[in-house]
Amino acid sequence: MKEEIDALHMQGTWLLVPNPGDKNIIGSKWVYKIKRNPDGTVGRYKARLVAQGFSQEPGFDFGETFSPVVRHTTVRLVLSIAAMNQWKLRQLDVKNAFLHGDLEEEVFMKQPPGFEDSNHPQFVCKLKKSLYGLKQAPRAWNAKFTGYLPTLGFKSSHSDPSLFVQHTGNDIIILLLYVDDIIITVGALQYLTFTRPDLAYAVNHVCQYMHNPTEVHYFLVKRILRYVQGTLEYGISFTKGPWRLNAYGDADGGGGYQY
């Protein structure tokens, strides 16, 4: 918890100010997680301070919340290109990603539990940077990151705004942005649909109820997992092969033509 607080202060996440009185003050809480090593032993204990975004008021504490994510079809395309060219694939993780986002709105939060300022216990935190739990956090982080990429020579794709390409001579780097995997829920299933399109409909259906799941939806998720367990050998295989572009149409009413 002390490491988390130090990181927040280093980022300049908030200013301690007197309670404005006429503003909505959202709460904050600690979330704990045990990070384990591949062998199951405890790697580290992690604590994260999150804002209680459910108490935010639309139009006052936040405006737009939508943050674009890379399309599944784009991921499959890049995987196939990487396999064809035998390129290396790497996954990057930005530590405390959401803390880098800048807030446009005025957001006030209660002091972190257990770390209240003894000299100003009634003061509140005026947030300058984004914080996990805020409704606009993904959008703020996306704006910060996508605004920085052009300075490194990356250009956004017209077909997918989360696909960035950098050309340096004969070298090329392709970067796919999927917000921050820390906030992706039924996440393993969402990533699995990249190479298991047969799951796409079922996963999409249960994802529509993530904000208000019932026992029925938990049952459906378990059913999907049982299906996955019984079909582990299924999936799209990306291998090196001839460069050939195929297109299909059914203008004849369903017979299908290959061009």
Mean pLDDT of 110-124: 93
Q: Are residues 193 and 234 in the same domain?
A: yes
Residues 15 and 139 in one domain: yes
Closest CA to 58 of 109, 107, 110: 107
For 179, residues 6+ apart whose C-beta sits below 8 A from its C-beta are: 67, 69, 138, 141, 142
Of the pLDDT bands very low, low, confident and very high (cuts 50, 70, 90), residue 252 is: low
- Shared domain check, 141 and 194: no
User: Residue 62: inside a domain, yes or no?
Assistant: yes
C-alpha to C-alpha distance for 30 and 131, rounded to whole angstroms = 12
Domain assignment of residue 126, yes or no = yes
Shared domain for 113 and 23, answered yes or no, is yes
Residue 256 predicted with pLDDT over 70: no
Split at pLDDT 50, 70, 90, the class of 241 is confident
What does DSSP assign to residue 197?
A: G
Q: Which residue has the higher pLDDT, 58 or 50?
A: 50
pTM over cut 0.75 = no
Number of domains forming the structure of the chain? 2
- Domain of residue 191, residue span: 185-240
What is the structure's pLDDT at 181? 43
Report residue 33's pLDDT band, with 50, 70 and 90 as the boundaries: very high
